[in-house]
Chain A
Amino acid sequence: EDQVTQSPEALRLQEGESSSLNCSYTVSGLRGLFWYRQDPGKGPEFLFTLYSAGEEKEKERLKATLTKKESFLHITAPKPEDSATYLCAVQASNDYKLSFGAGTTVTVRA
């Protein structure tokens, strides 16, 4: 069974204080690893899909990287508007559904 573990559960940052979120996974063949952002009372908002080890993608202050066992979401010089829960999910090569981790809740203080 696919497993996704995210750490830490919660992260409190000062504005401008860069940090990284971890997503460890086990899957029988990876089709894709997805990162989403979720604000309270809203649905998950798509950020990135990574397909193979070594791949990196960037969007504004966010950068996602992938190895064979884990993915990192780096937040560079975060702003208060980056406060959200960040969700990681994997899609196995022989499947279509996403298996989600529990998420990391990031709070950025001004």
Chain B
Amino acid sequence: NAGVMQNPRHLVRRRGQEARLRCSPMKGHSHVYWYRQLPEEGLKFMVYLQKENIIDESGMPKERFSAEFPKEGPSILRIQQVVRGDSAAYFCASSPAVGSGNTIYFGEGSWLTVV
């Protein structure tokens, strides 16, 4: 059973370009979370999605960032007009549902570098 799959693992973008990060949850998981880990900082929640719905985007910057989890295909985290401060590791996680006993598993991350 494959784990949470993220791609690309490493991405370099020039300032002003767009970055698209993809996440395929574990088989049977319908809940996806995105977290960001800035250098020397802890993991910070960004957004929680279920199929075709954004449940909570309270941790996501209001501008330039968006996320989706379509009925078919992976979840996408999109960052428009990237700036140097967007350089970070972006982790996707998934769970089968919400509640006690539902472990949240993380992918290996996508490392974004903005030059």
Whole-angstrom distance between the alpha carbons of A106 and B101 in the complex?
28
Whole-angstrom distance between the alpha carbons of A100 and B35 in the complex?
10
**Inter-chain contacts of A36 with B (CB < 8 A):** 106
Q: Answer yes or no: A69 CB below 8 A from chain B CBs.
A: no
**Are A101 and B33 within 8 A (Cβ)?**
no
**Inter-chain contacts of A98 with B (CB < 8 A):** 33, 35, 43, 45, 104
Given A46-B103, A96-B98, A97-B33, CB of A103 within 8 Å of CB of B42: yes
Cβ 8 A contact of A43, one of B48, B99, B106: B106
Q: Answer yes or no: A20 CB below 8 A from chain B CBs.
A: no
Size of the chain B interface, CB-CB below 8 angstroms:
27
For B42, B44, B48, B105, the residue with the greatest tally of chain A CB atoms inside 10 Å of its CB is B42
A53-101 CB contacts (< 8 Å) to partner B: 87, 89, 96-101
**Are A31 and B91 within 8 A (Cβ)?**
no
Chain B residue with Cβ nearest A4: B42
**Can you identify 23 A-B contacts, CB atoms within 8 angstroms?**
A31-B100, A32-B100, A34-B103, A34-B104, A36-B106, A42-B108, A43-B6, A43-B106, A43-B109, A45-B106, A46-B105, A49-B103, A89-B43, A96-B48, A96-B55, A96-B56, A96-B98, A97-B45, A98-B33, A98-B45, A99-B45, A101-B42, A103-B42
The 9 lowest CB-CB distance pairs between A and B, nearest first, are A43-B106, A100-B43, A97-B45, A96-B98, A43-B108, A44-B106, A102-B42, A100-B42, A43-B109
B interface list, Cβ under 8 A from A: 4, 6, 31, 33, 35, 41-45, 48, 55-56, 59, 91, 98-101, 103-109, 111
